[in-house]
Structure 1
Amino acid sequence: MKNFIVSFDDTQTAFSAKSDADLRRAYGLFRLISYNWLVRISPPFVNAALALHLPVKGIIRSTIFRHFCGGETIEACDGTIRSLAQFRIGTILDYSVEGKESEVDFDHGLEQTLATIRRAKGDPHIPFSVFKPSGFARFALLEKLNAGQTLSEAEQLEFTRFRKRVETICELGAANGVPIFVDAEESWIQDVVDQLVREMMMRFNKERVMIFNTLQMYRHDRIDYLRQSLEHAKVNGYKAGFKLVRGAYMEKERERAEKMGYPSPIQPDKTATDRDYDAALRLCMERIEDVAICAGTHNEASSLLLTELMQSKGLATDHPHVWFSQLYGMSDHISFNLAKAGYNVCKYVPYGPLTAVLPYLIRRAQENTSVAGQTGRELSLIIQERKRRRT
Structure 2
Amino acid sequence: METPPNKSLNFDDTEIAFRNKSNGELNAAYWLFKIISSNFLTKIGPPITNFFLNIGLPIKGIIKATIFEHFCGGETIAECEHTIQQLASGHVGTILDYSVEGEDEEAVFDFTCEEIIRTIERASGDQRIPITVFKVTGIGRFGLLEKLDTKTALNTAELAEFEKVKHRCEKICRTAFDKNVPIMIDAEESWIQDTIDELAFDMMRLFNQKNIIVYNTYQLYRHDKLADLKADHLIARAQGFILGVKMVRGAYMEKERKRAEELGYPSPIQPDKAAADRDYNESLNYCIAHIDDIALVCGTHNEESCRILAQLLDTHRLKHDHPHVYFAQLLGMSDNLSFNLSDAGYNVTKYVPYGPIKAVMPYLFRRAQENTSIAGATSRELGLIIKEKQRRRLI
TM range (shorter): over 0.9
Structure 1 residues 335-346: aligned runs within 5 Å: 335-346=338-349
For residues 286-327 of structure 1, what are the alpha-carbon distances to aligned partners after superposition, in whole Å with 9 as ceiling and x for unaligned? 100111001000000000100000001111111100000000
User: Residue type of the partner of 1:359?
Assistant: P
Partner of 1:120: 123
Structure 1 residues 82-231: aligned runs within 5 Å: 82-231=85-234
For residues 57-97 of structure 1, what are the alpha-carbon distances to aligned partners after superposition, in whole Å with 9 as ceiling and x for unaligned? 11101100000011110011111111111111110100000
User: Residue type of the partner of 2:223?
Assistant: H
TM-score for both structures, normalised by structure 1: 0.99
Partner of 1:375: 378
Q: What secondary structure sits across from 1:63 in the alignment?
A: helix
Q: Tell which deviates more after alignment, 362-371 or 294-303.
A: 362-371
For residues 346-377 of structure 1, what are the alpha-carbon distances to aligned partners after superposition, in whole Å with 9 as ceiling and x for unaligned? 11000111111111111221222221111111
Q: What secondary structure sits across from 1:263 in the alignment?
A: coil
Identity of aligned residues (%): 54
Partner of 2:317: 314
Deviation, structure 1 residue 55: 2.4
Partner of 1:304: 307
Select 1:76's aligned residue among 53, 76, 79: 79
Partner of 1:293: 296
Structure 1 residues 48-67: aligned runs within 5 Å: 48-67=51-70
Q: What is the distance in 1 between the residues matched to 2:37 and 2:278?
A: 27
**Are 1:347 and 2:350 counterparts?**
yes
User: Residue type of the partner of 1:382?
Assistant: I
Q: Tell which deviates more after alignment, 36-45 or 234-243.
A: 36-45
Deviation, structure 1 residue 2: 2.2
TM-score for both structures, normalised by structure 2: 0.98
User: Residue type of the partner of 1:2?
Assistant: P
User: Residue type of the partner of 2:347?
Assistant: N
Q: What secondary structure sits across from 2:187 in the alignment?
A: coil
Q: What secondary structure sits across from 1:232 in the alignment?
A: helix
For residues 117-136 of structure 1, what are the alpha-carbon distances to aligned partners after superposition, in whole Å with 9 as ceiling and x for unaligned? 00011111110110011111
Q: What is the distance in 2 between the residues matched to 1:27 and 1:83?
A: 19
Q: Tell which deviates more after alignment, 357-366 or 172-181.
A: 357-366
User: Residue type of the partner of 2:63?
Assistant: I
Deviation, structure 1 residue 265: 0.3
**Are 1:334 and 2:323 counterparts?**
no
Deviation, structure 1 residue 3: 2.2
Q: What is the distance in 2 between the residues matched to 1:373 and 1:109?
A: 36
Q: What is the distance in 1 between the residues matched to 2:252 and 2:44?
A: 19
Q: Tell which deviates more after alignment, 49-58 or 286-295.
A: 49-58
For residues 26-52 of structure 1, what are the alpha-carbon distances to aligned partners after superposition, in whole Å with 9 as ceiling and x for unaligned? 111111111123212211111111122
Partner of 2:4: 2
Give the gaps of 5 or more residues in structure 1.
none
Aligned residues: 391
Q: What secondary structure sits across from 1:390 in the alignment?
A: coil
Q: What is the distance in 2 between the residues matched to 1:253 and 1:366?
A: 17
After TM superposition, where is structure 1 displaced by more than 6 Å over at least 4 residues in a row?
none
Q: What is the distance in 2 between the residues matched to 1:36 and 1:139?
A: 30
Q: What is the distance in 2 between the residues matched to 1:38 and 1:271?
A: 30
CA-atom RMSD in angstroms: 0.9
